[in-house]
Amino acid sequence: MSGSDGLRFWPLTDVGKVRDHNEDSFLVDRKLNLFVVCDGMGGHAAGEVASSIAARVVRETLAEEQDLLLSYEQGNETSRESILELMEKASQRACSSVHQEGQRDESKRGMGTTLVALSIVGNRGFICHVGDSRIYLYRQGAVHQLTEDHSLINELLKRGRLTREQIGKMNYKNAVTRAVGVYESVDADVFDFDVLPGDRFLLCSDGLHDYLEESVLARMFDEIPEDELAQRLIQLANDGGGKDNITALVVRVPEDTSGVDKLAREVNLKLEMLHKMPLFRFVTYQELVRVVNITDVKTFKAGETVVTEGDEGEEMFLVLSGRVRIHTGETLIAHLGPGQHLGEMSLIDKAPRSASVTAEEDSRLLIIGRRGFFDLVRKNHDIAVKLLWSFLGVLNQRLRTTSRELGETRDELHRTLTARASVAPPPVPRSSPPAGKPDTD
């Protein structure tokens, strides 16, 4: 099947081998390029009601603002933040609608559902996520989980109170820490990212991903025709036991040779170079995508000043291409080329720049500003912890380097002073005073 922008999609759901009814729901809106999977929970078929309400309300909310989506796609003044706010609004309206239905019908009280929604607008994807249903991205032969499970198991793993070997022995393995509709509002994860030609996505419920390893999924994406992939994934889950309802929604972005290749190269370059930086060595692909969202790219002409010594620093720079010179006055400190960076401490404080930076040739620099950085870590505690740990590592390395250099300087000074003392000049002989004059010294 095809969407309005040539997007291809293949949805399929199955009751599994244990349950007697299906509480999963999926939804596709071709005009909105909207894809939704929900996994309901609650007795007396309430889960089925919750999941269908949530999917429907998300679509209705986006359909009401279709002009906003079109404005963004056409490059008008609509901002990414406006679309993210719309996705947040959709999740909250879905939550409120499910909750109100549960309050109205006592047999459905306490029902809830997970939610993963992907809206592709132009060259960007917008995700709204609650619970433990997932969205995977398959790009350039690798699978990346874009969503993070809001589940008891995941929380225990992150806190170090559970090992992966212990998961199989746990009760309540499917317990979620966030759900749509259990309460009147919910804390949804909402974020966006660059969509590249040829990207493929899998939206699925836990009835599938409980049986799915990323390496297996990557191989299936690579080897199985897309129109057969959803069916083969459901077969895999049923062969593994089929203990829950199973939903798979496969989406493919068309290949494009009309200049979008440049965007793909740009995005991949940013991700690759950021990942090589010590500051971002612990973040996942999903988290790195969020870091890229706060970056900007600026071109500096040869001879143009990037930063000036003594100015207040609020930005970190990463050289994507070209070459820059770090200097104080005319004294050269260092040359930096592609993949090298400067100014990361400016993300922490606003200390004056200790040196100037000038482009030696036309150069493109990726920039992370202090305000965007703090917004990111304030909204994403896991990223904040990883970046703090990385900063400690960077500072520790700098302290060790400084201590070593101070020690070497001290030793060199000691050797110099010792050498001078060993070759001290002989004392100057005192001359006798002229006869008849007293010695007044």
Instruction: State the pLDDT confidence band at 132, using cuts at 50, 70 and 90.
Output: very high
| 386-409 pLDDT, tens digit each | 888 887 887 788 788 888 888 888
Mean pLDDT, to the nearest integer, of 139-146? 94
Which pLDDT does position 75 carry in this prediction? 86
| 207-258 pLDDT, tens digit each | 999 999 999 999 999 999 999 999 999 999 999 999 999 999 999 999 875 6
Has domain 263-383 been given CATH number 2.40.50.100? no
**What angle, 0 to 180 degrees and rounded to 10, lies between the N-to-C axes of helices 46-64 and 80-104?**
140
Mean pLDDT, to the nearest integer, of 431-440? 56
Does 136 have pLDDT greater than 80?
Answer: yes
Coil, strand or helix: which one is 381? helix
CATH architecture of 8-256: 4-Layer Sandwich (3.60)
34, 273, 364, 419 from 270: Cα distances, Å: 27, 5, 11, 53
Is there a common fold for 8-256 and 263-383? no
- Round to whole Å and give the CA distance between 336 and 34: 44
185 versus 418: the higher-pLDDT residue is: 185
| 362-393 pLDDT, tens digit each | 999 999 999 999 988 888 888 888 888 887 88
Instruction: State the pLDDT confidence band at 441, using cuts at 50, 70 and 90.
Output: very low
Instruction: State the pLDDT confidence band at 429, using cuts at 50, 70 and 90.
Output: low
Mean pLDDT, to the nearest integer, of 164-179? 74
Tell me the DSSP string of 206-250.
HHHHTT--HHHHHHHHHHS-HHHHHHHHHHHHHHTT--S-EEEEE
Tell me the DSSP string of 60-79.
HHHHHTHHHHHHHHTTSS--
> Would the CA dihedral through 202, 204, 206, 210 be positive or negative?
negative
Contacts of 86 (CB under 8 A, 6+ apart): 61, 62, 65, 68, 69
Which pLDDT does position 440 carry in this prediction? 47
In this structure, the strands spanning 341-342 and 315-321 are antiparallel
Cβ-contact 87, 117 below 8 angstroms: yes
Contacts of 250 (CB under 8 A, 6+ apart): 9, 10, 11, 200, 201, 202, 226, 229, 230
Residue 296 bridge partners (DSSP) = 367
Which pLDDT does position 44 carry in this prediction? 64
Cβ-contact 194, 121 below 8 angstroms: no
Does 434 have pLDDT greater than 90?
Answer: no
Does 265 have pLDDT greater than 60?
Answer: yes
- Round to whole Å and give the CA distance between 247 and 231: 10
**Domain segments of the chain as ranges:** 8-256, 263-383
Give the other-Cβ count within 10 Å of 329's Cβ.
Answer: 8
Does 340 have pLDDT greater than 70?
Answer: yes
Q: What single-letter amino acid sits at 159?
A: R
Mean pLDDT, to the nearest integer, of 93-97? 98
